[in-house]
């Protein structure tokens, strides 16, 4: 279906049993988000809130709640998009088989945005920020946020839609020190196209004009999160994926998506920032309050019967997981073309995406030698850590497999493969004092921390333990060892105090295990944590705790560790300190009182009575 609007998509979902209307009045303060989370967890339908307290507008969420539903929405265009990407990677294919690829050429015609100055449905009425559904998602959030924004900016040196950027950067609508209806917060992170545009505008001493679109055809929403190369307009992708050219016009110098449900226009002036946040984010923790650009509101528009689209993020998986799965489905074939030798990457959602990246690469440098150790993998790893949003990876596990059977998306099997082969004295490579994801608070400051590459290639060098070695029982200061997976043991110790104390704790652990290396041959990683039972309960817990709470340069240790010519390694197991530290952001937690209040929606006679 080539949906001309968000409502057309929702009607189609309803006809196919994939949408439920919530007719009861629901409070946008915590209740709407809590309902969404419960429905998402039950793999339930898309939701249309018809009675939002304090707003005349309806709201929709969980539209992309499952990969199956996302693929259903784009069922008529996804194959053409995949074909276009394939042809971009192999243009000779189009010449060899012009008839077979004719449909892709026709689809590409939809890529050109359509300037549409006559039809402006989104400008049906002018409203205020306070008229919108002001949805606060988590108890400690600083206010209401736009969570599915399409933030549009242009290059001041090359104005126009073809050099524009469309990104999903959260918008804070109220709270903190923002002047009601006149100011909103614009949060964006590293490696985002909008940063380039603001830098250029600042250099000229001019405000950056910003348009925030909400709603519209679902292809517009997905396009805002597509990892497209700098200089390629997301509007072209929106046209191809939606099977409908992106329609736009200009008003007061601002670009307006005429198919959107809402448009907020405003300006960001050089050097004008205000505190933004906190916000319960997709790592499962709050991103704390920091100064971010201030957007001075110019005008707010809404179409007739507009629908406000939103999502809720928190500890993964959440709805944004489906975004990632769909993006991989569409663009997976393109990744190897960007990085020579790279076969596959997987940003692990359970670990918050950027903290943990798994990659499968090639080893072709020295086929003439019988020795198999990471070589080309290290070149690929450096390329990965210098490529777009892949560069935000904190832990990069990379491996090569001559049989081509290893899959990065099979997380358990991939980790097991690496742990069987990694040489802990040779194959761990740190990047210290570098930039990390803005939302990751494990580092030494905002955007600041470290990274580590763990590479593996060759025959197995250890048989992974499938039970806890007896030597780990009865340790002093370390207790309750639990097997997480083959080769990985979680062990509890007292809460983190400071890094001076950590040195003494690691000395104590080394003292107790120094002469037990032979008994620990099957253990590659020991996770020191606050709750070993929780970490070992399932892979999801292990991945979340271990890789979101560790700053590699500060929190990775080893049994019988050593430095050789500035290279760090260890003879015994790698020790990862995954305790909560004082500088970490608090995890997001549901409000029990709100959970009880929303039971009415799920009770007999409620709109969602059939949802678990």
Please write down the HEC assignment for all residues of 400-456: ECCCCCCCCCCHHHHHHHHHHHCCCCCCEEEEEEEECCCCCCCCCECCEEEEEEEEE
Q: What phi and psi, each to the nearest 5 degrees, are found at residue 358?
A: -105, 140
Two tokens at 40? 């998402």
What topology is assigned to 319-456 in CATH? UbiD C-terminal domain-like (3.40.1670)
Sheet holding 448-456, edge to edge: 342-347, 356-361, 395-400, 448-456, 428-435
- The H-or-E segment that residue 291 falls in is strand 290-302
Angle value at C-alpha 392, between 388 and 396, nearest 5 degrees? 110
Rounded Cα distance, 500 and 581, in Å: 13
DSSP structural state of residue 207: P
Alpha-carbon torsion angle 153, 106, 244, 328, nearest 10: -70
Are the C-beta atoms of residues 489 and 464 closer than 8 Å to each other? no
Residue labelled with tokens 């590459």: 453
Two tokens at 232? 């390629």
* Bridging pattern class, strands 247-251 and 114-115: parallel
pLDDT at 102: 43
Which distant-in-sequence residues (6+ apart) come within 8 Å of 217 by Cβ?
A: 3, 4, 5, 6, 8, 9, 238, 242, 244, 259
Which distant-in-sequence residues (6+ apart) come within 8 Å of 234 by Cβ?
A: 164, 165, 166, 167, 223, 224, 226, 228
Rounded Cα distance, 518 and 521, in Å: 5
pLDDT at 387: 82
- The H-or-E segment that residue 236 falls in is helix 234-242
Rounded Cα distance, 494 and 503, in Å: 14
Helix axes 78-89, 234-242, angle to 10 degrees: 130
Let me know if 480 is exposed, middle or buried by CB neighbors in 10 A (0-12, 13-18, 19+).
middle
Are the C-beta atoms of residues 120 and 263 closer than 8 Å to each other? no
pTM: 0.90
pLDDT at 538: 97
The neighbour count for residue 367, using CB atoms within 10 Å, is 6
How much helix, strand and coil, in percent to the nearest 5, is found in the chain? 30, 25, 40
**Helix (H/G/I), strand (E/B), else coil: 112:** coil
* Bridging pattern class, strands 46-49 and 19-22: parallel
| Separation of CA 39 from chain center | 20
Rounded Cα distance, 124 and 272, in Å: 31
pLDDT at 443: 87
- Shortest CA distance to 273 belongs to which of 446, 443, 135? 446
Rounded Cα distance, 55 and 142, in Å: 20
Residues of the chain under the 70 pLDDT cut? 85-108, 189-193, 228-232, 332-337, 368, 612
Rounded Cα distance, 14 and 73, in Å: 12
HSE on the CB side for 380, CA within 13 Å? Answer: 31
Region 6-73+112-309: CATH code: 2.30.110.10
Quote the radius of gyration of the chain (alpha carbons, Å).
25
The neighbour count for residue 15, using CB atoms within 10 Å, is 9
pLDDT at 92: 39
pLDDT at 332: 63
pLDDT at 502: 97
Rounded Cα distance, 193 and 154, in Å: 10
- Shortest CA distance to 439 belongs to which of 546, 361, 355, 508? 355
- The H-or-E segment that residue 505 falls in is helix 499-513
Residue labelled with tokens 């001041």: 156
Are the C-beta atoms of residues 316 and 350 closer than 8 Å to each other? yes
pLDDT at 323: 82
Q: Which residues pair with 485 in a beta bridge?
A: 488
The neighbour count for residue 356, using CB atoms within 10 Å, is 24
């Amino acid at each position: 279906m080539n949906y001309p609007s968000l409502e057309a998509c929702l009607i189609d979902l309803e006809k196919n049993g994939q949408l439920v209307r919530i007719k009861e009045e629901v409070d946008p303060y915590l209740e709407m988000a809590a309902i969404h989370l419960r429905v998402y967890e039950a793999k339930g339908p898309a939701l249309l809130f018809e009675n939002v307290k304090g707003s005349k507008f309806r709201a929709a969420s969980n539209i992309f709640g499952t990969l199956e539903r996302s693929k259903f929405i784009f069922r008529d265009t996804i194959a053409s998009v995949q074909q276009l990407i394939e042809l971009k990677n192999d243009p000779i294919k189009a010449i060899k088989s012009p008839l077979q690829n004719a449909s892709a050429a026709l689809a590409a015609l939809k890529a050109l945005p359509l300037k549409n100055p006559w039809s402006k449905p989104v400008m049906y009425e002018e409203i205020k920020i306070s008229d919108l559904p002001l949805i606060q998602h988590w108890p400690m959030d600083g206010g209401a946020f736009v969570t599915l924004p399409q933030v549009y900016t242009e290059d001041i040196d090359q104005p126009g839609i073809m050099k524009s950027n469309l990104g999903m950067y959260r918008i804070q609508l109220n709270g903190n020190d923002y002047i009601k209806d006149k100011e909103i917060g614009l949060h964006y992170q590293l490696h985002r196209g909008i940063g380039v545009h603001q830098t250029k505008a600042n250099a000229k001493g001019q405000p950056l004009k910003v348009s925030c679109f909400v709603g519209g055809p679902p292809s517009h929403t997905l396009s805002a999160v597509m990892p497209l190369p700098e200089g390629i307009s997301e509007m072209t992708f929106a046209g191809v994926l939606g099977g409908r050219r992106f329609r736009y016009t200009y008003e007061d110098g601002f670009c307006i998506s005429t198919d959107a449900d809402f448009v907020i226009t405003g300006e960001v002036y050089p050097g004008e920032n205000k505190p933004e946040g906190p916000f319960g984010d997709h790592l499962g923790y709050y991103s704390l309050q920091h100064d971010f650009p201030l957007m001075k509101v110019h005008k707010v528009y809404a179409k007739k019967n507009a629908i406000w689209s939103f999502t809720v993020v928190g500890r993964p998986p959440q709805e944004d997981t489906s975004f990632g799965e769909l993006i991989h489905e569409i663009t997976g074939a393109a990744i190897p073309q960007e990085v020579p030798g790279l076969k596959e990457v997987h940003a692990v959602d359970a670990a918050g995406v950027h903290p943990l990246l798994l990659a499968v690469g090639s080893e072709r440098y020295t086929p003439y030698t019988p020795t198999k150790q990471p070589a080309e993998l290290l070149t690929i790893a450096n390329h990965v850590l210098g490529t777009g949003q892949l560069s935000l990876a904190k832990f990069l596990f990379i491996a090569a497999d001559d049989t081509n059977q290893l899959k990065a998306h099979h997380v358990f099997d991939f980790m097991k493969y690496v742990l069987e082969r990694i040489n802990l004295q040779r194959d761990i490579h740190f990047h210290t004092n570098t930039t990390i994801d803005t939302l990751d608070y494990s580092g030494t400051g905002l955007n600041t921390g470290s990274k580590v590459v763990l590479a593996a290639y060759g025959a197995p060098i250890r048989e992974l333990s499938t039970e806890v070695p007896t030597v780990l029982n009865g340790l002093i200061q370390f207790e309750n060892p639990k097997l997480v997976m083959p080769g990985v043991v979680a062990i509890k110790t007292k809460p983190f105090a400071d890094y001076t104390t950590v040195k003494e704790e690691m000395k104590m652990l080394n003292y107790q295990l120094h002469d037990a290396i032979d008994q620990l041959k099957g253990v590659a990683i020991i996770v020191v944590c606050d709750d070993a039972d929780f970490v070992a309960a399932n892979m999801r817990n292990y991945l979340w705790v271990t890789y979101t709470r560790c700053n590699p340069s500060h929190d990775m240790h080893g049994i019988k560790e050593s430095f050789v010519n500035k290279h760090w390694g260890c003879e015994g197991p790698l020790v990862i300190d995954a305790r909560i530290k004082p500088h970490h952001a608090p995890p997001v937690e549901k409000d029990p009182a709100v959970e009880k209040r929303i039971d009415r929606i799920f009770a007999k006679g409620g709109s969602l009575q059939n949802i678990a």
